[in-house]
A and B are shown apart, each in its own frame.
Chain A
């Protein structure tokens, strides 16, 4: 039985790809289903790596694995359909690492397809039986919250109370993340041409936007649009034989604090402290060893708190990474180099987008390798990737190494 540190580098991400059209696809006259996003991304990652789809023996997705395997005509030896929100895909990679290291499978597919805007609510699958009442309903249903922003705003207010932070402090996260999006032609907010609200923004523009849930204006909140993506995880012998550059899974961890926010003990802390501790220990690395970070930014506060939990900044100081330019293009710790869930793409569950960008940065195939845009490729050798699912509920952390 392998112990955790023996899992380190026991498998690699060998390729990553997206579906053909992502973002606000309806405006382009398309209405692509979540399944189509899955299948296009799977076909693209197969073409990219040269791994035939028929060689896949493990299927991982957020609720879709049975349908996907059937659609592809696969008879997998490992089926994992963990669906715990946006961090599901970090957790899939963790599980795939364990399944490969233990010898059960050789090649794992992790797939995401979510027409979050075109077919709202159709991305994730699973859940309880029809007609049954969760006892948590008694604690939540009557109290006037509508979706994620209405809940996350409470965390920002608690952070402001605990640490003296201000909404303007968090607005810097939106501004810097937008700077990255202006380097990524696939980002929804790349420019005024890709979206009327696209292009560079300032703290004043963020703060003067429409209020969603005080203290969060709309630019503190991620988008909801369409995306498909897939990565393939393979054992070392296969990873070394391919035409693509492997990105090694040096560390992985997962944990959770709660499901409903009413059960969150400290609104300024998430289980990323635990999931990253496990990942760092497996990798024999620490925060100081990270060249860049991909942090789920469902909201600006999510990114700030997560940076603190990952040890990239002291408690109460997560926002300073953005405010002081550390996380910005040209900074010493680039964060969310694709433009984030705030400005690149967020389909409801954003964990796959994190994985794809981390793979592209570490495999040296990020946008400027393709499009010749200066500054997009960070030349990083290490990246910590942290997904957050639910309402600051569940986390999966990966430490990836070129």
Chain B
């Protein structure tokens, strides 16, 4: 079935992210001067204000920071509601949003903040893959 949910428009300077995603790699910006990873991608390091940035492959591992269950949704997501959204603390630092996989939206009390998650990619088309995070065994 064709992907029927919103897809981020491909902004300037983000080609390495989309190229990595095609290969199942999570690419994140890292500052060459202070060494810190940031997300979302900036034109300047938000920590030390260097413009000397590169893209690095992340481990694809993280921990669940918080979550919620979406009951009111529209378009393609409306067909899936209720579903769980969450924020992921990356092993490399900083945080990503996701729709969380591997959880039961009807039992939100059973979802554990701090649980281990791993990235996976869903295909939109041959050029576009989107990262989502799944709860995995410790």
Contact = CB atoms under 8 A, between A and B. Distances in A.
A212 B69 CA distance: 9
B71 A157 contact: no
A1 interface: no
A209 to B, nearest CB: 11
Interface string B6-24: 1111111110010000000
A262 B96 contact: yes
B72 A140 contact: no
A138 B17 contact: yes
Interface in A161-212: 161, 210-212
Interface residues of B, number: 41
Nearest to B111: A157
Contact of A214 (B5, B74, B108): B108
Interface in B88-102: 95-99
B71 A142 contact: no
A149 interface: yes
A134 B13 CA distance: 11
Contacts of B86: 154
A129 interface: no
Contacts of A141: 6-9
Contact of A137 (B11, B42, B113, B130): B11
Contacts of B68: 150, 153-154, 156-157, 213-216
**Interface residue tally of chain A, by bracket?**
35 or more
A99 B40 CA distance: 36
Nearest to A153: B68
Contacts of A139: 39-40, 96-97
Given A138-B14, A142-B8, A144-B73, A215 B108 contact: yes
A306 B14 CA distance: 36
15 contacts: A134-B11, A135-B14, A135-B42, A138-B14, A142-B7, A143-B99, A144-B80, A145-B70, A146-B70, A154-B68, A154-B87, A212-B71, A213-B69, A214-B69, A260-B40
Interface of B: 5-14, 17, 39-43, 65-74, 77, 80, 82-83, 85-87, 95-99, 108, 113, 130
